[in-house]
């Protein structure tokens, strides 16, 4: 007689970390589950990308992995529904208990109740199928943030797949908050370099005297390039680099290595992805971007659309963020009211996807009922016909300021750099919208 275990969905793919020759693994495979086994965390990222959203089973009972290493992996892969297998004595460890509470949907102890384990796996597989039914457009890159069923997002996802198959520099353009870094990460995750590192550098942090400081700063550039070796180096706001730094970058691109002012030779096999919120042609005209560097980098280019240019995606994105944060923070929030949906659709979203994410996250964290109402969204009501254009612009401006401040953890100088305004202008805007009255929330960057 076959297995007497019942499932709420058809058997599918499991990613199993550890487990050895455990009997429960053989039972699952005999029941039709495709078990992808992994014993090396260095290969785990690529495996999870290949498999996609799935059930992950972590056998901690054999002490095959460091808890710190497996926690870092799990935290980076929230598209996976994680189960933990532990020994009874391990539950005396606060670290193990914290890991289970933070990252796992369930856990089991020996002797392993295989019937219950298989029912749980089957149920969670069914939940994954429901998510795919609700958001069929997410596809391969849904968990990486490239959601949307608009033509512009379909085009972007297609371009990401094409670009990921190559190994040349990529130039990404888009407004603040559109998701340029998400596009870069999607390229990285879908490329042959996915098992290596993804290093993000904010170019405004690299001052003109940066390389001269290397004798006392542990050779930061060498560390950055070493960390990015065989992987991807993502340079955010490339035009913020000084001319000297741009010249050094060009040398690295041409030679595959360069010598610091301290005489150190630095090099490595690295793919470059660069981003800017500005029009590259304007940067060239203004002399903020070297022409020789731009023409070497602009082999492949992507444009990430503003949220107002893909309005049909707004509600789907809002629902995606709602359920994501409701699960992450164990919130009661489950849906938006009709009035809230109308407000989401009529707002201009000057802060783009980042602003939408911030608004939904805040509402989910404060939710006391399953349905989120319009007054729980801290966005301007643009449906009033008597509202002046000046008032609409002021409310949009205030909302954009809140989003960029939250993204920069309240650091005013960093927020000003992201918006492309001086610190004095930033303070003027904050005073204008009464956003500087709470110093506990906003602080000046020391960077």
- Taking residues 428-432, report their average pLDDT: 83
Identify the residue with better confidence: 50 or 89. 89
Same fold, 140-303 and 307-407: no
Most confident of 89-93, 125-129, 380-384, 387-391: 89-93
Give the whole-number percent of the chain exceeding pLDDT 90.
26
| CA distance linking residue 98 with residue 418, whole number of Å | 36
Give the pairing type, strands 257-259 and 265-267: antiparallel
What CATH number belongs to 307-407? 1.10.8.60
Nearest-CA neighbor of 327 among 134, 94, 80?
Answer: 80
Query: Is the previous residue joined to 111 through a cis bond, with omega within 30 degrees of 0?
Result: yes
Mean pLDDT, rounded, of the chain: 79
CA 337 – CA 349 distance, rounded (Å) = 19
CA distance 384 to 313: 23
pLDDT reading at 193 higher than 50: yes
How high is the pLDDT of residue 10? 43
**Structure confidence by residue, pLDDT tens digits, 4-58:** 223 333 456 788 988 766 788 888 888 888 888 888 877 777 778 677 778 999 9
Query: 13-134: which CATH number, 3.40.718.10, 3.40.50.20, 3.30.70.120, 3.40.50.2300?
Result: 3.40.50.2300
Share of the chain above pLDDT 70, in %: 80
Q: Does domain 140-303 have CATH number 3.40.50.300?
A: yes
Determine which helix (DSSP H) or strand (DSSP E) holds 161, and give its type and residue range: helix 151-164
The confidence band for 212, taking pLDDT boundaries of 50, 70 and 90, is: very low
Residue-level pLDDT at 270 = 86
The residue to which tokens 């030679």 are assigned: 255
Q: What pLDDT, on a 0 to 100 scale, did the predictor assign at position 106?
A: 92
| Per-residue pLDDT band at 132 (split at 50, 70, 90) | low
Segments making up each domain of the chain, as ranges: 13-134, 140-303, 307-407
Give pTM, 2 decimals: 0.59
User: Cα separation of 423 and 440, whole Å?
Assistant: 19
Position 93 scores a pLDDT of 92
d(CA 202, CA 206): 8
**The pLDDT of residue 112 is above 90:** no
Confidence of residue 357 (pLDDT cuts 50, 70, 90): very high
Query: Strand locations in 47-153, DSSP E?
Result: 55-59, 81-86, 104-109
Q: What is the mean pLDDT of residues 333-354?
A: 92
**Top-confidence residue, 409 or 384:** 409
| Of 387 and 404, the one with more pLDDT | 404
Half-sphere exposure of 39 (CA within 13 A, CB side): 5
Q: What average pLDDT does this structure show over 373-387?
A: 69
């Amino acid at each position: 007689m076959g297995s007497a275990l019942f499932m709420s969905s058809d058997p599918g793919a499991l990613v199993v970390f550890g487990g050895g020759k455990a009997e429960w693994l053989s039972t699952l495979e005999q029941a039709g589950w495709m078990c992808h086994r992994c014993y090396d965390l260095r290969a785990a990222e690529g495996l999870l990308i290949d498999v996609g959203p799935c059930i992950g089973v972590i056998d901690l009972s054999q002490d095959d992995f460091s808890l710190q290493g497996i926690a870092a992996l799990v935290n980076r892969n929230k598209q996976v529904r994680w189960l933990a297998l532990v020994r009874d004595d391990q539950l005396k460890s606060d670290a193990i208990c914290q890991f289970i509470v933070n990252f796992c949907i369930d856990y089991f102890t020996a002797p392993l109740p295989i019937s219950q384990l298989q029912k749980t796996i089957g149920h969670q597989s069914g939940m994954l199928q429901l998510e795919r039914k609700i958001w069929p457009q997410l596809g391969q890159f849904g968990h990486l943030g490239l959601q949307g069923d608009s033509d512009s997002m379909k085009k972007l996802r297609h371009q990401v797949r094409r670009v990921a198959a190559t190994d040349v520099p990529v130039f990404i353009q888009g407004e603040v908050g559109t998701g340029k870094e998400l596009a870069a990460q999607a390229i990285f995750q879908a490329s042959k370099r996915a098992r290596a590192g993804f290093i993000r550098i904010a170019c405004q942090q690299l001052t003109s005297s940066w390389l001269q400081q290397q004798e006392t700063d542990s050779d930061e550039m060498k560390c950055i390039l070493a960390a990015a070796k065989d992987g991807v180096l993502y340079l955010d706001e490339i035009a913020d680099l000084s001319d000297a730094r741009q010249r050094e970058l060009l040398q690295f691109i041409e030679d595959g290595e360069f010598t610091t002012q301290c005489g150190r030779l630095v090099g490595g096999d690295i793919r470059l992805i660069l981003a800017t919120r500005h029009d590259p042609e304007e940067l060239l005209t203004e002399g903020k971007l070297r022409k020789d560097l731009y023409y070497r980098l602009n082999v492949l280019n992507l444009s990430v659309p503003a949220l107002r240019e893909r309005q049909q995606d707004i509600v789907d994105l809002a629902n995606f963020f709602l359920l994501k944060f409701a699960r992450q923070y164990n919130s009661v929030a489950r849906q938006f009211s009709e009035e809230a949906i109308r407000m989401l659709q009529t707002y201009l979203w000057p802060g783009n996807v980042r602003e939408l994410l911030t608004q939904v996250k805040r509402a989910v964290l404060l939710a006391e009922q399953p349905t989120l109402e319009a007054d729980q969204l801290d966005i301007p009501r643009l449906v009033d016909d008597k509202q002046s254009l000046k008032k609409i612009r002021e409310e949009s401006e205030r909302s954009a300021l809140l989003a960029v401040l939250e993204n920069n953890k309240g650091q005013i100088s960093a927020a000003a750099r992201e918006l492309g305004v001086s610190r004095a202008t930033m303070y003027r805007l904050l005073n204008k919208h009464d956003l500087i009255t709470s110093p506990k929330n906003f602080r000046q960057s020391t960077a």
